[in-house]
Amino acid sequence: MDKIIEILKEIRPEFNFSESSNFIDDGMLDSFDIIALVSQIDEAYGISIDGMDIVPENFESIESIENMIRKNGGAI
Amino acid sequence: MRTTFSGKRIKGILGLLPHNEVFFEDETENYSFPAVQTMKLKKIMGYEKHRLVNDKAAVSDLCVFGLEYLFDKGILHKEEIDALILVTQSPDYFIPPTSNVIQGRAGLRKDIICMDINQGCAGFLVGLMQAFMLLDLDNIKQVALLNADILSRKVSNRDRNSFPLVGDAASVTIIERHEESQKIFFDINMDGSACGALIIPAGGFRQPSNVHTSELSDTGDGNYRSLEHLTMDGAAVFSFVQSEVPKLIEGILQYSNIGKDDIDYYLFHQPNKFMLEKLADKLKIPYDKMPMNVVSNYGNSSGVTIPINIVHNLSSLLVDEQLKCCLAGFGSGLTWSSMVMTLGKFDFCEMAVTPY
């Protein structure tokens, strides 16, 4: 979880992701932020997230991001 | 729709670029986002620089320049062109067809077929398909396929979703009958129900231009554009490409009975580096077989990115060798298309910079 929060803070340092229950609905991540997030997750976890998993609902929360990473072979 | 073609070959390709080259860093101030945030996209998306035509240029200017370049070098002879196809989404006029304009300006024969095709990112393949079909007609031995777009003029320079990646370019591809050529395999698909994913809403007849359609407004995500600018639903387009293109490629390889490893190069339309890397990963294609450098060098010129890709990356190889290639175009329409064919040995394969 810490690694993901660190990446999120690097992408959007102005937001406090711990206080949000839905990063997408709260306007904290736009489509380009998602791309930047995927790119950094791929590098940090040594995986390549399947393009079909790059949909907003997989980026709503830390939990959904972690589930997506696990699904794509990353170790949380 | 899958089909095959026989007895045809590409004789050569000329890529044509505007001379104006603009760097990504020099445009960050146009956007409403912090420059630091915008610069992070540079590496991920492959933004570096793009080629943009001047305010006065039209597609026929680039195409006529290209034809005359080939005439002057003795590579092409105007009396030998039996058909002229122009694939473009940025015609000179609504009326007349721009292919007619080009025929007149280039001084081509009057007894030829001229044809405009409005297709975008899959347009080069649609143009090849049309050229192959024309070559089956009596008295058509050589077709000039022109593919040109200057969509930078229809993309808001305050739209960070689209402006950094747009580029202008043109190409002249000469196709001829060639009995000894290997079979060409082709697949094309359309989904007009999703046409709104890539659209210029106003300026046509559905919503004619007026004083309001040209007004810039915040689209709600910090980008500014008018109804007369290209609108791209990035998430929908990304999802479409990731969903359909892998199946398209697997399908054409199966149809052509050619193994993935037997393809020398995968020459895809170039939306951006991130999308192409994801496709390569999904298809398990090594990156060195799938060039992804057109956006970073020239921008995304819609269908023209395929011939520009070929010329930029393979020109020296293709004049000397034959390469088994898988081409794919996907985008506005929505349209997605693939082709497996042998490219080379070309009579010419080069890039020229125009004065536009």
Q: What is the tens place of the pLDDT at every residue in A13-69? A: 889 999 999 999 998 998 888 999 999 999 999 999 999 999 999 999 999 999 999
Mean of per-residue pLDDT scores for chain B: 96
Q: In this complex, do B45 and A11 lie within 8 Å of one another by their Cβ atoms?
A: no
Instruction: Please report the pLDDT score of residue B241 as a whole number.
Output: 96
Average the pLDDT over each of B122-131, B158-167, B197-206 and give the range with the smallest value: B158-167
CA distance B235 to chain A (A): 7
Residue B35 touches partner A, C-beta closer than 8 Å = no
B222: pLDDT strictly greater than 90: no
Is the pLDDT assigned to residue B40 strictly greater than 90?
A: no
Which of B24, B32, B33, B37 best probes binding to A when mutated, by most A CB atoms within 10 angstroms? B37
Please state the rounded mean pLDDT for residues B178-192.
97
What local confidence, expressed as pLDDT, does residue B310 receive?
98
**CB-based contact (8 Å) between B281 and chain A?**
yes
Average pLDDT over residues B85-105: 98
pLDDT in tens, B240-273: 999 999 999 999 999 999 999 999 999 999 999 9
CB-based contact B278 A30, cutoff 8 Å: no
Per-residue pLDDT band at B103 (split at 50, 70, 90): very high
| Region B21-39 average pLDDT | 88
Mean pLDDT confidence for B288-298: 96
Q: Does B49 touch chain A (CB under 8 A)?
A: no
Which pLDDT value is given to residue B34? 81
Note the pTM of the prediction, 2 decimals.
0.95
Model confidence over B71-80: pLDDT tens digits? 999 999 999 9
Contact assignment for B282 to A39 by CB distance below 8 Å: no
**Which pLDDT score, from 0 to 100, does residue B316 have?**
96
DSSP summary character for residue A52? G
| Conformation bin of residue B232: beta by default, left when phi > 0, alpha when psi is -120 to 50 | beta
For residue B76, what pLDDT is reported?
97
pLDDT reading at B82 higher than 90: yes
Token digits of residue A34:
């998602």
In the block, tokens 């109804």 appear at: B227
Q: Is residue B278 scored above 80 in pLDDT? A: yes
CB contacts under 8 A, B 241-270 vs A, are: 241-243
Reported ipTM: the value is 0.90
Q: Decide if A13 touches B, using CB distance below 8 A.
A: no
